[in-house]
Amino acid sequence: MQIAGEEDLYSIILHAPVGICILHAESMTIEAANIHLLKLINKQAEDLAGKSYREIFTLAKPGDESALKMAVEGRQHQDDKGTMIQMLNGKKEIVPVTFVYKPVKNNKGKVTHIAIWILENTKEVLDEELAAINEELAATNEEYAAANEELAATNEELLETQENLRRSEKLFRSIALNIPGSLILVVDRNHRYMAIEGDIMERMGYDRRDYEGKHPSEISPERYEASRHLYERVLSGEKFSIERKAETGEFYLIHFVPLKNDDNIVESGLIITLDITEIKQAEEKSAKLAAIVETSDDAIVSKTLESVVTSWNAAAERMFGYTAEEMIGQTIYKIIPEDRQNEEPRILSRLNTGERVDHFETRRLTKDGRLLDVSLTISPIMDKQGKIIGLSKIARDITDKKQEEQRKNDFIGMVSHELKTPLTSLAAIIQVAQKKLAQSEDQFLSDAMEKANQQARRMAAMINSFLNISRLEAGKLLIEKQPFDLGQLLQEVLEETQLTVTSHVFSLKECSNLTVNADRDKIISVISNLISNAVKYSPKGRQIDIGCKLNGNMVIVSVKDEGMGIKPDDLGYIFDRYYRVETNHTRHISGFGIGLYLSAEIIKRHGGEIWAESELDKGSTFYFSLPRAESPDNL
């Protein structure tokens, strides 16, 4: 083989496709470099000559130092890899390279120079790097994927949170909107409106779009100034309520509630405004009513269906002597006298059938044991469904009225009594005169005596009624019972009536052999009254039928006429004292409205009953019942 000459070798090294650089082993200065190296490090030959290796290759890896040291010591280090910055087309580029340090020895074996080979990395190296980069990339990718997944999860959470937030806001709005007559505001620590909702929002002059996110001073500085101290109070943690009356007349109740976070720090203020106009008006109305009740002269009392007192006004305190404190929660029986305790259940049963109890005259007991005459008006208290939940009772003290009545009765009694004596003698004189004149030639005198006799009887009957009524009122109407034949008595009364009454046609049927045990005179007055009414209230020429019927132990007597009849509305009252039916017809018929009242009282005191059936313009039938004497109980 032929060895190339020195010149040839020099040219080969100079143009070799690897970077070659020769260092002086002691000074470490560069002595020579080939063209490829200059290109690799982008320098000119003059830049390198005499320069220290370390100065030029500052970017060499720290491993170079030990590899270089080994080469100086005459040993060969394995290839070392590194990178260099290369300027290509004016751009910095990092070039992966391998440095190979070779010691160059003289013939004595001393290292005089170091040859440095700078090899650009081969495909292998690049592949390796690429693989490493790829690996790194894969790892990064994995990390990226994981991060992505996390991001997706976070996103989902975020979406969910957003959805929850949306739902809570919707819930807040629908709650706020559905509280009738309300406005709900939330302000943050700086008084800025966070939320506003409510069905009276517009009426109160708020518009959500103008308010949410805004500061009150931006909207209405005056309004803000007026309510600023309230915002400050609530945000300082105070919970309170105030009442306001609007210029337009509405009343508002405003609650201020501090809203705290988990650390118990006030974050915002909740302001709830409620329209309480209706409640206020109702309060005012009930205050007025309460004032009326309190100032009334009548005792106004309410009680439960179990007769427990629930309210007791000032007049009740004055009238009965018990204070509200003493009576509320107590039974009303406390003021009902012993002998009238059964009135309460009777009143209750009447109210239960929907009846009202008006002007029921009775007596009540005061705390100090006095008996008061009272007139009671009792009405049911109903709930919205019409169910009776209690009773209200108005009691009027009628003691004065009763005393007045008593004086009147006493007067009637006294006058009647005084009239009776002269009337009796007058009647006796008339009867004697009538007998004497019966045969007289003078027809006028005999007729006049007859008429005088009739009028004296009528007057006696009237005076008797007045006497009886005054006795009745005074509780002195005595019933003196004796057995007698009712049929016979009816016959006698009828005959006597027929002596004076010729205008009507009478009949008496099925009334024989009926013995009763009763007060004869008083029963006569009852029958006379029913017959005279039948005559009074039916036109001339009409039929009047008297009949009897047995019903168990009772005898029922009926008096039937074909007269004007009685309207159903009046029928329930004709047995009341002084009650008279007011019509154009009855106006001209004289009477006092005491006949049926007295009759009813007399029959009741015999353990019987009295009632009437009637049809307007057709006629009426009056009935009364009396126990038969055959019954051992009645003898």
Residues found near ligand ADP in the complex (CB under 6 A) = 529, 533-534, 537, 561, 563-564, 566, 574, 579-581, 586, 591-597, 620
Question: In the complex with ligand ADP, which residue's Cβ is closer, 485 or 570?
Answer: 570
260 within 8 A of 267, measured Cβ to Cβ:
yes
In the complex, minimum distance from the CB of residue 533 to ligand ADP, in angstroms, rounded to a whole number: 3
Question: In the complex with ligand ADP, which residue's Cβ is closer, 309 or 535?
Answer: 535
**Number of Cβ atoms within 10 Å of the Cβ of 16:** 14
Question: In the complex with ligand ADP, which residue's Cβ is closer, 227 or 525?
Answer: 525
In the complex, minimum distance from the CB of residue 573 to ligand ADP, in angstroms, rounded to a whole number: 9
Question: In the complex with ligand ADP, which residue's Cβ is closer, 394 or 564?
Answer: 564
Can you spell out the DSSP letters for 279-305? HHHHHHHHHHHHHHHHH-SSEEEEE-T
Question: In the complex with ligand ADP, which residue's Cβ is closer, 483 or 593?
Answer: 593
Nearest to 376 by CA among 406, 346, 353, 404: 346
The DSSP bridge partners found for residue 101 are 116
487 within 8 A of 604, measured Cβ to Cβ:
no
Cβ neighbors of 484 (< 8 A, separation 6 or more) are: 515, 516, 518, 520
Question: In the complex with ligand ADP, which residue's Cβ is closer, 259 or 571?
Answer: 571
Question: In the complex with ligand ADP, which residue's Cβ is closer, 100 or 467?
Answer: 467
Question: In the complex with ligand ADP, which residue's Cβ is closer, 511 or 534?
Answer: 534
Please, is 148 exposed, middle or buried when counting C-beta atoms within 10 Å of its C-beta (0-12, 13-18, 19+)?
A: exposed
Q: Per the structure block, which two tokens stand in for 549?
A: 């019927």
Question: In the complex with ligand ADP, which residue's Cβ is closer, 472 or 534?
Answer: 534
Q: How does DSSP classify residue 533?
A: H
Question: In the complex with ligand ADP, which residue's Cβ is closer, 553 or 586?
Answer: 586
In the complex, minimum distance from the CB of residue 534 to ligand ADP, in angstroms, rounded to a whole number: 5
Q: Per the structure block, which two tokens stand in for 32?
A: 């020579």
In the complex, minimum distance from the CB of residue 576 to ligand ADP, in angstroms, rounded to a whole number: 9
In the complex, minimum distance from the CB of residue 363 to ligand ADP, in angstroms, rounded to a whole number: 25
In the complex, minimum distance from the CB of residue 358 to ligand ADP, in angstroms, rounded to a whole number: 20
516 within 8 A of 629, measured Cβ to Cβ:
yes
Question: In the complex with ligand ADP, which residue's Cβ is closer, 41 or 610?
Answer: 610
In the 3-class helix/strand/coil scheme, how is 127-196 assigned residue by residue? HHHHHHHHHHHHHHHHHHHHHHHHHHHHHHHHHHHHHHHHHHHHHHHHHHHHCCCEEEEEEECCCCEEEE
Question: What's the first-to-final CA gap in the chain, in angstroms?
Answer: 181
Q: Per the structure block, which two tokens stand in for 261?
A: 């976070």
In the complex, minimum distance from the CB of residue 386 to ligand ADP, in angstroms, rounded to a whole number: 35
In the complex, minimum distance from the CB of residue 600 to ligand ADP, in angstroms, rounded to a whole number: 9
Neighbouring C-alpha atoms within 13 Å toward the C-beta of 350: 14
In the complex, minimum distance from the CB of residue 532 to ligand ADP, in angstroms, rounded to a whole number: 8
Question: In the complex with ligand ADP, which residue's Cβ is closer, 549 or 580?
Answer: 580
Question: In the complex with ligand ADP, which residue's Cβ is closer, 595 or 627?
Answer: 595
In the complex, minimum distance from the CB of residue 599 to ligand ADP, in angstroms, rounded to a whole number: 8
Spatial separation of the C-alpha atoms in residues 498 and 611, rounded to whole Å: 25
Can you spell out the DSSP letters for 346-407? HHHHHHHTT--EEEEEEEEE-TTS-EEEEEEEEEEEE-TTS-EEEEEEEEEE-HHHHHHHHH
Q: Crossing angle of helices 486-500/520-536, nearest 10°?
A: 40
In the complex, minimum distance from the CB of residue 403 to ligand ADP, in angstroms, rounded to a whole number: 25
31 within 8 A of 22, measured Cβ to Cβ:
yes
Spatial separation of the C-alpha atoms in residues 498 and 491, rounded to whole Å: 10
In the complex, minimum distance from the CB of residue 311 to ligand ADP, in angstroms, rounded to a whole number: 40
H/E stretch holding 624 reads strand 619-627
In the complex, minimum distance from the CB of residue 459 to ligand ADP, in angstroms, rounded to a whole number: 14
Question: In the complex with ligand ADP, which residue's Cβ is closer, 96 or 593?
Answer: 593
In the complex, minimum distance from the CB of residue 568 to ligand ADP, in angstroms, rounded to a whole number: 13
Spatial separation of the C-alpha atoms in residues 539 and 86, rounded to whole Å: 149
Tell me the residue type at 455.
Q
Question: In the complex with ligand ADP, which residue's Cβ is closer, 187 or 581?
Answer: 581
In the complex, minimum distance from the CB of residue 368 to ligand ADP, in angstroms, rounded to a whole number: 39
The phi and psi torsions of 590 (rounded to 5 degrees) equal -75, 155
Q: How does DSSP classify residue 273?
A: E
Spatial separation of the C-alpha atoms in residues 294 and 315, rounded to whole Å: 7
Indicate the residue whose CB is closest to ligand ADP. 591
List, edge to edge, every strand of the sheet that includes 251-260.
Answer: 193-197, 182-188, 266-275, 251-260, 240-245
